[in-house]
């Protein structure tokens, strides 16, 4: 008899907060569709982010700016179907909350009700604090994101490390505090000096999740395709490729092409056969006969 399936309990927002109190690291990865979400979930990753980075790594846009709430929702629903355990967080894309708190609430509720998200992530510091408060008051768990915020590419002029001057470090400390006060349950710190990330992590009660922010954060997040080596561009310094899927898949695809061209695929073992008992009759009936129709 098959063993009884083990019920997997879903990670919750309070559990993520408790991790910090217990000094246990939090793991997070992006995923944008059913197979990647299943792989992430089955590996025991705590937080699965349907990030707007899908604009670049899956949809081929040159930044995260063009991706729409509709496109995000499509991917969120697919990813959600692959998850049993991880906390599913969905990114609010550029232009889906900029008209104000009402629009932010509307997009977030859509992601939760139609997409199955457990929580929402929003980029930006103090200027988002009011919006975050409204969302939290509406029972929407919110994750913050400061430092390098890719949706600000046109203002920043490039994807550069943030918080490297005393002034900008102090701005980021104030942003972090304002977001905690507004009620975010966790805060992504992207591409900031390790020392600054460590200080923010020490000062906040909520967990910090680093990406290019050094090892002292309460957790770490990477983009799935970076970790898997399924990218075509140069990777940032902080990315560690745990696999080289671009190379492996390229080799597999070239092998398939060569096998077909050279007649090595498929073999007889990879083919279906007419039942042996009727084969003679089959040949008699059809060989030499023109195609029907
Ligand atoms: O969209 C994304 O992938 C993100 C992570 C880099 C944190 O926001």
Ligand 1 neighbours, Cβ below 6 Å, are 30, 49, 51-53, 91, 145, 188, 190, 211, 221, 223
- Candidates 50, 57, 64, 150: which one to mutate for ligand 1, based on the most atoms within 8 Å of Cβ? 150
DSSP line for 268-284: GGGS----GGGHHHHHH
Distance 30 CA to ligand 1 centre (A): 7
Q: How many other CB atoms sit within 10 Å of the CB of residue 205? A: 8
Convert the pLDDT of each residue in 68-91 to its tens digit: 999 999 999 999 999 999 999 999
What is the reported pLDDT for 226? 97
Q: Quote the CA–CA distance of 51 and 143 in Å, as a whole number.
A: 12
Q: Is the pLDDT of residue 1 over 60?
A: no
CA-28 nearest atom, ligand 1: 7
Q: Is the pLDDT of residue 272 over 70?
A: yes
Alpha helices in 150-205 (DSSP H): 153-156, 166-182, 194-203
Looking at the DSSP bridge assignments, the partners of residue 186 are 143
Q: How many other CB atoms sit within 10 Å of the CB of residue 17? A: 15
Q: Quote the CA–CA distance of 45 and 61 in Å, as a whole number.
A: 27
What is the reported pLDDT for 293? 75
- Candidates 211, 222, 226, 231: which one to mutate for ligand 1, based on the most atoms within 8 Å of Cβ? 211
Convert the pLDDT of each residue in 42-65 to its tens digit: 999 999 999 999 999 999 999 999
Residue 36 burial class via C-beta count within 10 angstroms: exposed 0-12, middle 13-18, buried 19 and up:
buried
Sequence-distant (≥ 6) Cβ neighbours of residue 140 within 8 angstroms:
105, 108, 109, 112, 119, 120
What is the reported pLDDT for 196? 98
Distance 153 CA to ligand 1 centre (A): 14
Distance 200 CA to ligand 1 centre (A): 19
Peptide bond between residue 266 and the one before it cis (omega within 30 degrees of 0): yes
Q: Quote the CA–CA distance of 49 and 92 in Å, as a whole number.
A: 11
Convert the pLDDT of each residue in 109-144 to its tens digit: 999 999 999 999 999 999 999 999 999 999 999 999
Q: How many other CB atoms sit within 10 Å of the CB of residue 75? A: 24
Domains of the chain with CATH codes: 13-244 (3.20.20.60), 248-286 (no CATH)
Residue of the nearest CA to atom 2 in ligand 1?
A: 51
Alpha helices in 204-237 (DSSP H): 224-227
Q: Quote the CA–CA distance of 205 and 21 in Å, as a whole number.
A: 8
0.85 surpassed by pTM: yes
Distance 281 CA to ligand 1 centre (A): 62
Averaged pLDDT, 174-185: 98
Q: How many other CB atoms sit within 10 Å of the CB of residue 66? A: 15
Which residues are identified as catalytic? 190
CA-64 nearest atom, ligand 1: 1
Confidence of residue 240 (pLDDT cuts 50, 70, 90): very high
Q: Are 239 and 250 in contact (CB under 8 A)?
A: no
């Amino acid at each position: 008899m098959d063993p009884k399936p083990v019920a997997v309990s879903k990670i919750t927002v309070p559990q993520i907060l408790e991790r910090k109190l217990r000094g246990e690291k939090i793991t997070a990865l992006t995923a944008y569709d059913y197979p990647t979400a299943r792989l992430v979930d089955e590996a025991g990753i705590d937080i699965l982010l349907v990030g707007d980075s899908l604009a670049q790594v899956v949809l081929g846009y040159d930044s995260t700016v063009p991706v729409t709430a509709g496109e995000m929702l499509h991917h969120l629903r697919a990813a959600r179907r692959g998850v049993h355990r991880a906390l599913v967080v969905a990114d609010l894309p550029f232009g889906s909350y900029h008209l104000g708190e009402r629009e932010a609430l509307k997009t977030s509720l859509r992601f939760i009700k139609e997409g199955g998200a457990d929580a929402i992530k929003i980029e930006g510091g103090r200027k988002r604090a009011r919006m975050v408060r409204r969302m939290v008051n509406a029972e929407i768990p919110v994750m913050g994101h400061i430092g390098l915020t890719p949706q600000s590419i046109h203002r920043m002029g490039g994807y550069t490390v943030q918080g490297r001057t005393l002034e900008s470090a102090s701005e980021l400390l104030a942003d972090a505090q304002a977001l905690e006060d507004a009620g975010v349950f966790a805060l992504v710190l992207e591409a900031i000096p390790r020392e600054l990330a460590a200080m923010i992590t020490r000062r906040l009660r909520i967990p910090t999740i680093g990406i290019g922010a050094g090892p002292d954060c309460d957790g770490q997040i990477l983009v799935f395709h970076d970790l898997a080596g399924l990218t075509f561009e140069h990777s940032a310094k902080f990315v560690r490729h745990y696999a080289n899927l671009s190379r492996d898949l390229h080799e597999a695809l070239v092998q398939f092409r060569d096998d077909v061209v050279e007649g090595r695929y498929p073999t007889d073992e990879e083919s279906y056969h007419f039942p042996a008992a009727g084969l003679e009759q089959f040949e008699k009936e059809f060989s030499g006969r023109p195609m029907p129709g």
